[in-house]
Chain A
Amino acid sequence: MKNSVLITLLILFVACQSLIAVQKVHLWHTMEPNKRPLLAEVVDQFMQDNPDIEVILLSKNVEELRTGYQAAAAFTGGGPELVYGPMDQIGPFEVMKLKNSDKSIIMPLEEVFPEEFFEKFTPNGLIRYKGHLYMIADRIGNHLALPYNKRLFDEEGIPGPPQTIEELIEYGQKLTKDTDGDGNIDQWGLVWNYTEPFWYIPFFGGYGGKVFDENGKPELGSQAAADAFRLIKDMRDEYKIMPPECDYDIADNMFNQGNAGMIINGDWSWQKYMNSPEVDFGLAKMPYVQAAGHWCSPMVSATGYSINSNTKPEVMEATKKLLAWLTGEEVQKRFASEFKSIPSIKTLYNDPEFTNDPIVKTSAAQIEAGQLMPIVPEMRAAWDAMRPALQSVVGGNMTPEEAAAYQQKLCVQKINDMYEVAGEGSGSSITKYIIYIVGIALGLYLTYLLIFKFILALLRNPYTMDSRNARFAILISIPAAIVMFGVVVYPFFYNIVLSFSNMNMTNVNSWEVIGVEQYGKVLWDFDMSFADYRSSLGDNSGVVIFDYLKYFFSHHKFITVFIKTLIWTIVNVFFHVTLGVMLAMLMNRKLPGKSIFRVLLILPWAVPQYIVALTWRGMFISDTGAINLILGHLGIAPVSWLSEPTMAFMAAIITNIWLGFPFMMVIALGGLQSIPKELYEAAEIDGASSWKQFWNVTVPLLKPVMVPAITLGTVWTFNNLNVLWLVTNGGQPADHSHILVTYVYRAAFNLYRYGYAAAFSVLIFIFLAIFGLTFMNRSQVAEKA
């Protein structure tokens, strides 16, 4: 008996020992779904060889990994030990500093590994930035090239892939055709994601363009930029070798189904095409631009591993071991042979298995012609500037030259926004103190309210009935109050403080309160100057004051987005309520099968928003989406829902109306059922028409039920980020489809303008609070009286 206890204790002891000995290494990575099984396999192998190390994998997409890692590492001093992702994330990671330190959130690797460790890697596999080595790549590439379908090429008798732009167009025209004779083109020459700047860069480079000059200043307004825009537009509109609307999924799907001759797509996608039964895969280098004398040059980047600066010393060895394994020869070879990726280990370049593989050969040649992805954080601004310009050209709203000038201007402006230096004026220290004083005064006032109006009020006459009732009421609302205030209060005040601060990506741990400058930026910010606007009017300019008004409402950033938000909210809520009430009235009649209909009509409410939003986006795609197909059957011309600003906005509104009407219907139905039938009977006897009955009986009695629902619905719609974001894919086209909340989201999480975004949010909040309270008060005065 005693023995068994001893043994149990011993086992427990040993178990504890081994538990302590196991070191956990977290790895966050951005690998595509098709690469994840192999990663899991090599990690398993690593854990078998190192039983004392446990590796925990977490996959995220690039954006989520970047923001998630920054939140964890910079704001809380934690996060995973290893991060894996594209090399351009090094820029934003380097800028962000740890708490109370000038160290970046990722570690310079030369400090933790011996010199010899780096020798086996090719130079472009070692990612340096500002003099430090921050990342070891496990593969070079992530570059676009030109996969083509040999089967379709053979059918048209085309000898091989195009070498020049002229051949690309010629072959493209041969491959574009209507195979089943129904008047619709169902095989395209070339498909690609031509509204994303990543796909525009190769042509830009082909005409000799560079994103940044030698001094790191953006150079997006060049002739090359305009020429590349023109080529893209002409390929679609003039030579008609590409579908009228095309995003990544459409292009990928068409090529994979054998419905397109060529696709411009990256090395991550090739394996899928090789396995597709519809595709006889061939890979070609992107063509030569004779007019400029360059090859098209896609961005080449590396993806690799970095170490978190917060890594605890006791897991450092394990982390290094894992990094060494994952970037080592054995693992790289397996990835390279399965996915045809280009490794970063020197010796593998002599391996005949790779050197003789035609796909690897072409891929390497394409890398040779490519340009290295700039690591600087400014690149984010460049992408964000090119996107709207490209989409404006494609949507026909700008000429190539206008777009080139526009993207240059936008890029400069966005870089300034990112590095905005705020709060260095002489007045700012005074405003700063004023803010402190106001803050303290407010705090004192709240304390006063709490003590005198709340606690003392409760203690006064403690034995009266009223007082007992009040204590009981407070007692039973305390649990809810604790949960809500516990969660809401800190974030709320954090944001208010932030809105008076200069926080941006360079000072996440050293920001200070500077005053009302961020509010000033929100309230007085135009996307062009008045002088520019007037000169753009040319002969049409009139009286200064009218011009100024026009300018104010079309170029003031906050106002223009605000107007869109109002339209968004009003249209949505209007249809929610009218459709809801109409259907409720129909449902309130005698209608066989009513209960089934009711459940079916509630369906949009029951399905998760983010899922249906994506489904609706799929249905709006102009070429294969259900909406245009149905319109086609009804004899209506197809609408390009997603590439025209107004249409994209409308698509999002339609989706949101669909999502929201069931809620209002149910509320209205509840209200209708509580209206006594006698009232209608009495009205009928008085000879009131149904229309009169509706206005004089239904509406007034429905009002008290609907007003709170409408208030709440308005607030929810106003602040609904999900639907618009998902349907328009983050404000596309050209950042035209924004409402205030999506705009804030972009400012905060894409450009790291935390202070600005917080000020923006506070203003949204104030507006909604004023609206909500007035609306409720006004509509309830009558009811109470």
Chain B
Amino acid sequence: MNKFKKTMTAIIVYAIVLLFVVIAVYPVMRILTISLRPGDNLLNRSLAIIPQDATFDNYVRLFTEKPFLLWIRNSLMISITVTVIGVAFASLAGYAFSRYRFPGRKAGLLSLLITQMFPATMLLLPLFIMLSKLNLINSFLGLIIMYSATALPFSIWLMKGYYDTIPFSLEESAMVDGAGRFYSFWKIIMPLAAPALVITALFSFMAAWNEYIVAAQVLWYEEMFTIPLGLKSLQGNMTTEWGMYAAGSLLISIPVVALFLFLSRWLVSGLTLGSVKG
């Protein structure tokens, strides 16, 4: 009886999990389908994942007709820089918020949350004015600063939350042994915080990799385009090159999915949001 019950539970669990896996994967498969269809055949009654007349034409055209590799290079340059800045700054600030009581601490933590609350679209115009006053139009630097600022609040929160789970006694004993503040942070805490660092990196990377609204305002040269902007340029007012768009969409998702895959081991343990008060 008990065994029967166990098997039944297992079957139900599997069924539910599989159902959700299908739901999660199916829309992405639709993108694959569209990218494999010849021409711009967006709409089709067929539910087959691999269409009968499948072709890699759209992928080939993306690389031959469009400066796709250049866009990838630009996006990589920007995203990697943002990742480095994000990880460096967030790991430091998060540590300060987690370990020390200092004037402005509470205000700082609150303002991290508060930056998320203003509708981002309304910030677009003043940001553009500001960037142009600073002569940062058509420069990657402007974008990098912008993306770092969007990625930081969440990253700092995340790092703080993770540091909170590491007992303070570790540093205390190091300090008793005569280690300085920075030394004990760098040599003792940082290695322990690796999972959170990895996740912070992932978030910072994604923030920069997927963004296009600010990029569209700031970049005026096609050879400076990031991938999302390049993809957007395949859309006209009325006509869109859907096949290439889908192909490009899949290709731009691959690095992020690969990162998730590679980092999934740390993802669960590293993603611990801190509390504002704590």
Binding site for B on A (CB under 8 A): 26, 30-34, 56-62, 64, 68, 71-72, 75-76, 78, 80, 186, 248-250, 252-254, 257, 266, 268-269, 272, 453-454, 457-458, 466, 469-474, 476-477, 479-481, 483-484, 486-488, 490-492, 494-495, 579, 582-583, 586-587, 589, 591, 595, 597-612, 615-616, 618-619, 621, 623-624, 626, 629-630, 658, 662, 666-667, 669-670, 673, 704-705, 707-709, 711-712, 715-716, 719, 721, 740-741, 744-745, 748-749, 754, 757-758, 761, 764-765, 768-769, 772-773, 776-777, 780, 783-784
**Contacting pair B96 A477 (CB below 8 A):** yes
Please give me the residue from chain B that is nearest to A662 by CB atom. B24
The verdict on B81 contacting chain A, using a C-beta distance below 8 Å, is no
Of residues 52 through 107 on chain B, the ones whose CB sits less than 8 Å from some CB of chain A are 85, 88-90, 92-93, 95-97, 99-105
By the criterion CB–CB under 8 Å, are A484 and B115 in contact? yes
Residues in B with CB closer than 8 Å to A749 are 121
Known interface pairs A666-B268, A708-B274. Does A492 touch B123 (Cβ–Cβ under 8 Å)? yes
Cα(A429)–Cα(B233), bound, Å: 47
Identity of the chain A residue whose Cβ is nearest the Cβ of B256 in the assembled complex: A606
In the bound assembly, the distance between CA atoms of A758 and B276 in angstroms comes to: 28
Asked if B92 contacts A484 (CB within 8 A), the reply is: no
B86 to chain A, nearest CB (A): 9
- 18 CB < 8 A contacts A-B: A68-B217, A458-B102, A483-B149, A483-B152, A484-B112, A488-B123, A491-B130, A495-B126, A603-B24, A605-B260, A662-B24, A666-B271, A708-B274, A708-B276, A741-B121, A748-B122, A764-B117, A765-B117
Contact of B17 with A by CB under 8 A: yes
CB-CB under 8 A from B236, the residues of chain A are 31-34, 59, 61
Q: Mark B189-204, 1 if CB is under 8 A from A, else 0.
A: 0000000000000000
Chain B: which residue is nearest A582 at the CB level?
B16
Contact status A586-B16, CB under 8 Å: yes
How many chain B residues touch A (Cβ–Cβ < 8 Å)? Answer: 114
Complexed CA–CA distance, A146 and B138 (Å)? 43
| Inter-subunit contact A257/B41 (CB<8 Å) | yes
Q: Contacts of A582 on B, CB cut-off 8 Å?
A: 16
Nearest residue, chain B, Cβ from A716: B116
Contacts of A457 in B (CB 8 A): 103
Residue pair A486, B88 in contact (C-beta under 8 Å): no
Is B277 an interface position by the 8 A CB rule?
yes
Q: Which of A612, A673, A777 has the most CB of B within 10 A?
A: A612
- Closest chain-A Cβ to B25's Cβ sits at a distance in Å of 6
Whether B116 lies near A602 (C-beta < 8 A) is no
Interface string of B235-260 (1 = CB under 8 A from A): 11111111000000100110011011
Out of B21, B126, B145, name the residue touching A600 (CB < 8 Å).
B21
* B144 to A, closest residue via Cβ: A483
Contacts of B174 in A (CB 8 A): none
B167 at the A interface (CB under 8 A): no
Q: Which residues of B contact A658 (CB under 8 A)?
A: 23-24, 27
Determine which of A248, A253, A469 lies in contact with B181 in the assembled complex, contact meaning CB atoms within 8 Å: A469
Asked if B120 and A721 make an inter-chain contact with CB atoms under 8 angstroms apart, the answer reads yes
How far is B43's CA from A610's CA once the two chains are assembled, in angstroms?
19
Give every chain B residue within 8 A of A257 (Cβ-Cβ): 41
Contacts of A492 in B (CB 8 A): 118, 123
Known: A56-B221, A491-B127, A608-B210. A477 touches B153 (CB 8 A): no
**Would you list the 5 A-B pairs with minimal beta carbon distance, nearest first?**
A470-B102, A473-B100, A487-B149, A491-B126, A473-B96
**Are the CB atoms of A603 and B28 closer together than 8 Å?**
yes
Instruction: Determine the distance from Cα of A453 to Cα of B108 in the docked complex, in whole angstroms.
Output: 13
Chain A residues closer than 8 Å to B13, beta-carbon distance: 586, 589, 591
B237 touches A583 (CB 8 A): no
Assembly CA distance A266 to B239 (angstroms): 11
Instruction: Tell me if A78 and B93 are in contact (CB < 8 A).
Output: no
Contact partner of B123 (CB less than 8 A), chosen from A71, A491, A606, A666, is A491
Give chain B interface residues in 22-49, CB to chain A under 8 Å: 23-28, 30-31, 34, 40-45, 47
Residues of chain B from 143 to 165 with CB closer than 8 A to chain A in the complex: 145-146, 148-149, 152-154, 156-157, 161
Given contacts A595-B264, A607-B256, A673-B268, is CB(A474)–CB(B273) below 8 Å? no
- Chain A proximity of B208: nearest CB distance (Å): 12
Asked if residues B43 and A618 are in contact (CB atoms below 8 Å), the reply is yes
B71 to chain A, nearest CB (A): 14
| Docked pose: A418 CA to B31 CA in angstroms | 40
Query: What B residues does A745 contact at CB under 8 A?
Result: 121
In the complex, which residue of chain B has the Cβ closest to the Cβ of A706? B273
Q: B29 to nearest A CB, angstroms?
A: 10
Q: Measured between alpha carbons, how far is A573 from B239 in the docked complex, in Å?
A: 35
Q: Measured between C-beta atoms, what is the minimum distance from A98 to chain B in Å?
A: 14
Contact (Cβ within 8 A) A487 B273: no
CB distance from B218 to the nearest CB of A (A): 10
Contact of A705 among B43, B47, B122, B273 (CB under 8 A): B273
Contacts of A591 in B (CB 8 A): 13-14, 17
With an 8 A cutoff between CB atoms, is B113 at the interface?
A: yes
- Knowing A494-B126, A608-B228 are in contact, say whether A483-B118 is a contact too (CB < 8 A): no
Q: Is B3 an interface residue (CB 8 A)?
A: no
How far is A618 from B242 in the complex, measured between Cα atoms in Å?
11
A508, chain B: closest CB distance, angstroms: 10
State whether the Cβ of B176 lies closer than 8 Å to any Cβ in chain A.
no
**With A34-B239, A58-B222, A589-B13 given, is the CB distance from A768 to B145 under 8 Å?**
no
Known: A603-B28, A608-B228. 13 other contacts (CB 8 A): A453-B103, A472-B181, A474-B104, A484-B149, A582-B16, A601-B20, A603-B257, A611-B253, A612-B31, A618-B42, A721-B121, A740-B119, A749-B121
Which residues on the B side are within 8 Å of A666 (C-beta)? Answer: 267-268, 271
Least Cβ distance of B83 to chain A in Å?
A: 14
Query: Smallest CB–CB gap between A174 and chain B, Å?
Result: 23
Chain A: minimal CB distance from B88 (Å) = 7
Chain B residues within an 8 Å CB radius of A605: 260
B220 adjacent to A56 (CB under 8 Å): yes
**Known A615-B30, A618-B43, A658-B23; contact A772-B113, beta-carbon cutoff 8 A:** yes
Let me know if A711 and B113 touch, CB within 8 A: yes
Docked Cα-Cα span, A72 to B128, in Å, equals 8
Contact of A32 among B44, B237, B249 (CB under 8 A): B237
Complexed CA–CA distance, A715 and B154 (Å): 12
What chain A residues lie within 8 Å of B42 (beta carbons)?
249, 253, 618
Task: With A71-B217, A603-B24 as known contacts, state yes or no: A479 contacts B88, CB within 8 Å.
Answer: yes
Q: How far is the CA of A473 from the CA of B130 in the complex (A)?
A: 30
Indicate if the CB atoms of B108 and A610 lie closer than 8 Å: no
Q: Is B261 positioned at the interface, with any CB of A under 8 Å from its CB?
A: yes
- The reply to whether B122 and A477 form a contact with Cβ atoms under 8 Å apart is no
Q: How far is it, in angstroms, between the C-alpha of A587 and the C-alpha of B217 when the chains are bound?
A: 42
Is A712's CB under 8 angstroms from B108's CB?
no
> Judging by beta carbons under 8 Å apart, are B235 and A470 in contact?
no
Q: What residues of chain B lie closer than 8 Å to A744, measured between beta carbons?
A: 119, 121-122
Residues of B within 8 A of A609 (CB): 210
Cβ–Cβ < 8 Å partners of B99 in chain A:
473
B259 / chain A contacts, CB cutoff of 8 Å: 606
Is B130 a contact partner of A483 (Cβ separation < 8 A)?
Answer: no
The answer to whether A249 touches B43 (Cβ under 8 A) is yes
Given A268-B239, A472-B181, A480:B93 Cβ within 8 A: yes
Q: Is B114 an interface residue (CB 8 A)?
A: yes
Contact of B132 among A76, A474, A490, A495 (CB under 8 A): A76
Against A, the Cβ 8 Å flags (1 = close, 0 = not) of B126-137 are 111110110001
Which of B42, B89, B273 gathers most chain A CB within 10 Å?
Answer: B273
Q: Name the contact of B96 in the complex, choosing from A474, A495, A748, A780 (C-beta under 8 A).
A: A474
In the complex, A705 Cα to B269 Cα: how many Å?
Answer: 12
Cα distance A269–B249 when bound, in Å?
25
Q: Are A473 and B220 in contact (CB under 8 A)?
A: no
Of the candidates A600, A705, A749, A780, the one having the most CB atoms from chain B within 10 angstroms of its own CB is A600
- Nearest chain A CB to B263's CB is how many angstroms away? 10
How far is B170's CA from A440's CA once the two chains are assembled, in angstroms?
47
Alpha-carbon separation in the docked complex, A658 to B27 (Å): 10
Q: Name the contact of A670 in the complex, choosing from B116, B260, B272 (C-beta under 8 A).
A: B272
